[in-house]
Chains A and B, each alone.
Chain A
Amino acid sequence: MIEVKELTKTYKVGSDVIKAVDHVDLEVGKGEFISILGHSGSGKTTLLSLMGGLTRPDSGTVRIDGTDIWAISDDELSDLRNRKINFIYQFSSLVPTLNVIENVLLPTAFSRDRDEGYYDFAMELLDLVGIREKEHSYPAQLSGGQQRRAAIARAFINRPEIILADEPTGDLDEETEAEIMALFRRMNEEKGITFVIVTHSSDLASQTKKRYRMSNGVLKEAE
């Protein structure tokens, strides 16, 4: 599914060179549910972006279903993201000018297939995340938890194979966090969606089947 080899990414901060991701190897099989645990600044978010094709590595490869994502054109990569991968962020990632249902449907605006069933599916997803009645509300009218739920519903709209989540429950209360994690697990088990969750919470990490730890750009499998 996802095959990461010798992946390296450095940043320059002033005159210092920071190795955000340092020769990382990682394999994630189809339907796996893994977590990467690390402090802020450990390079875990960068790794996630590299895996999702949002930023170009200095060296190394990322293969998704055998395709080297940094060897294909930008348009092909965009299409690949649109079809296979979706992201969940630690911040509110809704477009403020669009209401909830429009936000959920947003990825379909860039999809090349002409599926007419998106609306029903979107409503199903809203049902799933429990904010169906907020269909026509705007992001500003929602609580943080509701916003996150909408973003999660959006992440599933294109029926992705991979979800890359960056602190998906970061600022949410425990109850919501548990609900969301339960939802993830359900999607993982029922639909076979692969999950990679990046978090600083060992508690959250402990809920995943496979765990990695990242510090100073180096990735290690956790016991």
Chain B
Amino acid sequence: MKKVFLACLVSAIVIVLGVSLVFAGEASGPMGKGVERSGPNLKGIAYIQGHGGHIAVVNLATGDVKRIVHGKPSDALTLSADGKKIYAFSLDGYAKEIDLTTGKQTEWVKLGKKHCGSNIAPDGTVWVSDMADGHVYVYDPKTHKLADSFPVAKSICGISFSPDGKTAYVSDMPGGFIAVVDVKTKKVVSKIEGVGNFIHRARLRPGTNELWQSEGNELKGGKPYGVGYAEAGGAPGGVSIVDTKTGKVKDFVVTGGNVHDVDFTPDGKYALAAVRQVPEQDDSGIVVIDADTKRVVKVYSACKKCHGAIGLEVPKDKDGGRPFLCAIQVNWKASGFSKACE
């Protein structure tokens, strides 16, 4: 009798465990799931900064979406070199570090006025652009403090460093040009003009001289008007490809929507564009582009799925009632959601 009871108990536990495992595969989180089956099979975790005070986290393998809440509407984020931390920079000029292993967050530290883009400089500091005063603010992750600040242009956003670490490319949004900055002297040495109408963040395609510059094309009455798709002039956005050797724009990839940032697979084969208002979908997402053929090969939802599933509503008076995404960076070594996600 005792043995029968034990066998029943064991089998019951096994059944419960089995069933839960099966269901866990189906629904891995509260945010729902789903992935476009076509296109390349990418593996990595994408972090996309948002205006709602949180970061959208997309598992590229499964298409699952979660979020990391940090509390301040922000545009800029950058992953630490080891991929263990996120540096977030807010629209009111603060910096914060989020530890992806422990989920711990530091207090917000004041840097500048209105941060737009960021990148890790060759010396290990983080350069953060400011669209309010056109300065770069240098954040020191070792001391968690502001280390320097210098003027570049009027309203700057994207920051990229050349592979040799000597040159930085800083995008001026309404000016539509890229300021070429000498990293050592922190002085502007030249400008690449005519890159776009209202440009945001940019990244160098690995192994090439191509700087992929996101072009939101957000215009109102023909003038740059940084409001995102809510009131944009209807011109389709895309990516300007700038040859950093010649300093000329050599191609333009039309994706539609308002592109705000681009990241690449480590081999440089695919570009992942963070797009507000993906065409035909009332959503923001990641548009995957084949970097050679310049064709869109895959689209991930980054906002709607999540906002729909948990009923997160954006007030109508904020960003036109739509969730806004901004900077994107993928951790290609990670395969699962971090502890910091919810």
Chains A and B touch (C-beta atoms under 8 A apart) = no
- Interface residues of chain A, those whose CB is within 8 Å of chain B, are none
- Interface residues of chain B, those whose CB is within 8 Å of chain A, are none
